[in-house]
Structure 1
C-alpha cells in the first residue's frame, strides 16, 4: 500500500466541529525511514495556519516545519496514526489562531483572545465553505505529489 485517504470529522468545541476534512497520504519507497507526504483537500481555502490553500500540511512530524527532535519523524517510532492524531489534536483545535508562529505569545492577552475569536469565526465560515466545496466536488482520485 502506498496511498491512503483519511477523512476526519472536526472535533466538538472547535471552529471545525462536524466538518469533514479529506487528506491523502502517499508513502514513498523510503517509508518508514521518511515520513509520508500528506495533502489536504482545501478547496482553495486556508482555514488554519497549518493547512494551506494549496493542500500543504505544515507539521514538523511530516518534515514540512522545523521542530524539536521529539516532534520530528522518527523511523523507529513514528506512524501514520501519529500523523492523523497530530492533525486532529494539534491542528484542528479550539484556538487555531495560536498555531501561527509567534502568535502564542499573545494567548493570555485581551488582544490575543479577541483576535482568536475573530479568527474562529472566519475559520468556521471557511470550514462550512470547504464542506460545500467537498459536496460539489468530492475527492475522487488521489492527488499526485
Structure 2
C-alpha cells in the first residue's frame, strides 16, 4: 500500500508544485525523498536555497513521514535540529493527509515573530545569508546528524 500511495503522491506533487519547490525520491527509493525550496523573494529567506530530507515509514500513510530541514533555517515552525513542529507530523497524523498537507513551533522564535517582527526578520535574513547561500564553507549550513536523536519526532 505504501508504494502505491507514494507513487500517487509523487505524481500529484509533480503536477502541482510551484517552480520554487522541487522534490522527489533519492536514488529511486520511494521511502526517502529530498526537497529543495527557494526562499520567497518577499521574505527574509529571499535568495536562500533550503534542502529538506523526507523519510517515509514502511507503514505510510498510517504513520507520518519525518521531515527535516538539512539547511539551517531560522523559522518559528522549525527547531534547532531542523525538524518541523507540526501536530500533523506527530500525533495528529491521519492516512487522509498527504505529504503536501504539511504546512510549515519553536516557541522562542514564534514569540519573537509576534512581538518583535523587525528583529525576527533581521535574524531570519542573517541565517539565510549565513547558511542558505552558495559559499565556500558549507559545514555550518547543515544541521549535524548527531543532533537528530533529540528531535521531537523520535
TM class by shorter chain equals 0.5 to 0.7
Task: Name the counterpart of 2:123.
Answer: 122
Task: Name the counterpart of 2:101.
Answer: 82
Tell whether the 8 Å contact from 2:71 to 2:132 is kept in structure 1 after alignment.
no
Q: Does 1:52 align with 2:79?
A: yes
TM-score by length of 1: 0.63
SS of 2:57's equivalent? coil
Q: Is the alpha carbon distance of 1:29 and 1:60 closer, same or farther for their aligned partners in structure 2, counting shifts above 3 Å?
A: same
Which is strand-richer, 1 or 2?
Answer: 2
TM-score by length of 2: 0.60
RMSD: 3.4
Report the CA distance between 1:52 and its aligned residue.
2.1
Report the CA distance between 1:97 and its aligned residue.
9.0
SS of 2:62's equivalent? coil
Task: Name the counterpart of 2:61.
Answer: 32
Aligned residues: 114
Report the CA distance between 1:50 and its aligned residue.
1.9
SS of 1:55's equivalent? coil
SS of 1:2's equivalent? strand
